[in-house]
Structure 1
């Protein structure tokens, strides 16, 4: 199970790092074509979400890999799960069912990491 959790942590770190970097570095006008929710969201919120995703991606791997405050790994997973639950609620409110499957999978995977690292497979 420990190996599975590491694989999931790595996968989530890559996904959230790529998404976060995109939201932080690309112009808002470019993001509106790819993400409909960006049209009605303040640019500062879009950038903030990107920063949270980047920090979450780092938190999924670095503390556990270095052994320095490894409790930050399940904390990061919990934060990302909360972020995905919020994203799912937003997609439901905006009646955007196409955004739900990926959001739900990321939510479940982040919750799995949080459960595993806070619980039986923690440090």
Structure 2
């Protein structure tokens, strides 16, 4: 049985609700966070409005880039993505996947040239 959903975030223009509806109010991470989620059908079990397993409080899902590589985009570019390129993420999966994407993007950058002394 699904947890009761909380009201949409302040300032929601319908985009967040569209992403949550498409995701059935459940985190769509399937391992980009570093966890396999194998015991949960290969998808994170956290639902919007559900209780966290640690720390109390309720889970509030985020609408963020679906492609883990896009999680490394600057915030202003990620916010401009169309709804079809967004997914629902719980904060834990989002943070871990975003950190991994940023590390991967940084590793792919060529080393900076040292500044000349003269």
The two structures have a TM-score, normalised by structure 2, of 0.32
Q: Which has the higher helix share?
A: 1
In terms of Rg, which structure is larger? 2
Q: Which has the higher strand share?
A: 2
